[in-house]
Amino acid sequence: MKFRTDPASIRGSIAPVITPFTEEGAVDHAGLRGLIRWQLESGSHGISLGGSTGEPSAQSAAERIAALRTAAEEIGDRVPFLPGTGSHKLDETLEITAAARDAGADAALVITPYYARPTQEALYRWYATVAREFPDLPVVAYNVPSRTAVDIAPETVRRLFTDFDNFVGVKETTKDFEHFSRILHACGRELLVWSGIELLCLPLLALGGAGFVSAVANLAPSAVARMYELWEAGDFDAARDLHYRLHPLVDLLFVETNPAPAKWVLEQQGRIASGHVRPPLTPPTEAGLARIRELLAEGGDLTQQL
């Protein structure tokens, strides 16, 4: 919890690590530790677990809690840890968030409740409940309307940011880039905003974003972290070069539903024992694998860098 009292220091490439499963479908805790060690060796500036890339909706609360405890033990205080703790159920969200707090997480990443399509007032009350319940834990909203069918409005974020000292930021996973700007305009640059859209990670930094939580860090963690560092150092041309070099890997992630393509690549590279994804996801199809191999031939060099 080294960074819990200074959430403004949680910047850069926060890698949203996949949840590896065994061939039989159980959570692979040894594999998770190995992935986290690789991320740290590769220079990732923080670790997240349990966002969309981690298949949280296919896991029980107990499984998610056990995985975040494993991650917290492996990370220690080396980099910030921002586990996803949200659910479509409030009691479950509070249970997992409490476990994250107790495990030493530096902030809780709380997804907007999915399927129910709550109003903005309902979203405000949802996050207000979480913020009040955990006053000493920074809370970050996770806005991903493509998966939840609800979009948290800039005005709602501003209310929360104004009313609760521990509501500190938003992971924005929307392709509406105007939304990023309106969030920062409404709340000011003190609000921490991370991009969850791969091809908007670098552009967000120009608006004053804190960094990114990019799934492509599962394949090329060193390159993604380096892109942030180059921007911060003022080497904008080199940062842009990496942005464009990452394009094939970004496309690879979404050949079929994320994280199935990434898991297949990681299995082929020996970084996890199995590329198993839980239903309703399936492993990549033959047609998908053909396209994945093509894209890996274009951008695979970045997966080998340290």
Q: Is 263 a catalytic residue?
A: no
User: Annotated binding site for pyruvate: which residue ranges?
Assistant: 53, 213
User: Annotated binding site: which residue ranges?
Assistant: 53, 213
CA-closest candidate to residue 172, choices 191, 150, 194: 194
CA separation for the pair 150, 127 (Å, rounded):
14
The sign one gets for the Cα dihedral 208, 213, 214, 218 is positive
Take residue 275 and report the two structure tokens written for it: 């590329």
Question: Which residues on neighbouring strands pair with residue 81, listed in sequence order?
Answer: 47
Mean pLDDT of the chain: 97
Q: Find the catalytic residue in 89, 114, 127, 171.
A: 171
State the amino acid at position 218 in one-letter form: N
pTM (two decimals): 0.96
Q: Is 171 a catalytic residue?
A: yes
Q: Give percent of the chain with pLDDT exceeding 90.
A: 98
Q: What are the structural domains, with CATH classification, of the chain?
A: 7-240 (3.20.20.70)
Q: What is the pLDDT of residues 41-82, one digit of tens each?
A: 999 999 999 999 999 999 999 999 999 999 999 999 999 999
Buried b (16+ CB within 10 A) or exposed e, 78-104: ebbbbbbbbbeeeeebbbbbbbbbebb
Q: What is the pLDDT of residues 98-154, one digit of tens each?
A: 999 999 999 999 999 999 999 999 999 999 999 999 999 999 999 999 999 999 999
Q: Is the pLDDT of residue 306 over 80?
A: no
